[in-house]
Amino acid sequence: MQVVIKEVETNKELKAFVHFPNELYKNNPYYVPQIESMDRDTLTPSKNHAFEVCEGKYWLAYDTKGTIVGRVAGIINRRYNEKMGENICRFGWIDFIDDGDVSAALMNAVETYAREKGMDVMSGPTGFLEFDAAGVLVEGFDQIPTAYGKYNAPYYERHLLALGYQRETDFVEYRILVPDVIPERYARSAQLMEQRYELHQAPLRCRRDINPYLDSIFTCLNNAYSKLHGFSELTKGQCDDLKKQFLGNVNVDYLSIILDKDDKVVAFGLALPSLSQAMQKAKGSLFPFGFIHVLRALKKNDTIDLLLIAIDEQYQNKGVNAMIFDKFAHGIKKNGIKYIESTRELEDNTNVQNLWRYFEHTLHKRARVYDKRLSVGASATRTLRHQCQS
């Protein structure tokens, strides 16, 4: 296929960039549309504090009729590169039709940008921050993703492998069946941790009670996530963005803040009612009626999505996560929750995965991040029609 690549430069083109996957997968029952206005904000420097430490460009691929057939973003997180001592260009927001010329042209655009910026390695799909959806779905194509994951067709991996990309790391997702009676061992373990380390739950009766702990929560998060794949320390502006993103939806039944004897935050966990079906009904827009589906899902739901668990380094691997889950267990019982979705977590994150070992659970989705070392003068423009469509 003859492909034309154009850099996104106008608001109209950015809207088209954000809308493309919603059009590509509009008839797919497993696709969860992202809210387009929120996605545009994420990609707009003036509305996303990630651009304090990041830069990026976006491209659209067109066929000869002017129809959009693909998209991709190139991102450089300068703070993360300084931390790792490497020149890494990330690629993300990648979607395309099943045509090797399209995927090759898109990745060639990103790789050219990376070389111009002096980068040595390509890595992705990832976003600006650890909290943006990462990975190409490689297992679980018949499962509905969480609102914080991402769906893609099975052919994506075939295209990336043909372009010379190799597996870097995997993220996995579990679906956990909540038993009628939650084993007592969780409450006993939580009580033991409280006594052994002089810890206690922050008293949270409503969202307003969260405010005194917010800054300390993000200090804890920066400490706990410092060594995780793709993570760079969050700035104050980035923390403010995350507060806006999550706080409006928080149910204190699914928020655990663990304090030490001096009332310092040493761990926290956050889960939210599943918004996947609500976002399918919203079809990419909160207005005029999409927000109604979201509000209903927040109030009445049988599934929660586990978003974050962060434990200060000095308390890691000591069983403190049992206290977090014990708090969740009360909310689960109170609200009649039947399922827990773990959302994407690193496949070797056994500390979190051990929480479910006494529950019936299934690893039902896997997403993969790839990397590729750039060589001087190399190009991804080679035609992949035969490899990708045979």
| 266 contacts: CB under 8 Å, gap ≥ 6 | 199, 220, 258, 259, 260, 311, 312, 314, 315, 320
Supply the pTM of this predicted model: 0.89
Closest CA to 237 of 14, 38, 54, 34: 54
Distance of CA 374 to the CA centre of its chain: 26
Supply the pLDDT for residue 378: 46
Q: In sequence order, which ranges of the chain are alpha helices (DSSP H)?
A: 11-24, 36-42, 78-84, 100-116, 155-162, 184-197, 214-224, 236-247, 276-282, 290-299, 321-335, 350-353, 385-389
Alpha carbon distance 77, 89 (integer Å): 8
> With contact defined as beta carbons under 8 Å apart, do 126 and 134 qualify?
yes
Task: Give the integer Cα–Cα distance in Å for 80 and 57.
Answer: 18
Q: pLDDT tens digits for the chain (390 residues)? A: 899 999 999 999 999 999 999 999 998 999 999 999 999 999 999 999 999 999 999 999 999 999 999 999 999 999 999 988 999 999 999 999 999 999 999 999 999 999 999 999 999 999 998 778 889 999 999 999 998 889 999 999 999 999 999 999 999 999 999 988 888 888 898 999 999 999 999 999 988 899 899 889 888 888 888 777 667 788 888 888 887 777 777 889 999 999 999 999 999 999 999 999 999 999 988 888 888 998 899 889 999 999 888 898 888 888 888 899 899 999 999 999 999 998 888 888 777 777 777 788 999 999 999 999 997 544 444 434 344 443
**What are the beta bridge partners of residue 289?**
none
- Tell me if 275 sits within 8 A of 293, measured CB to CB: no
Beta carbons of 100 and 84 less than 8 angstroms apart: no
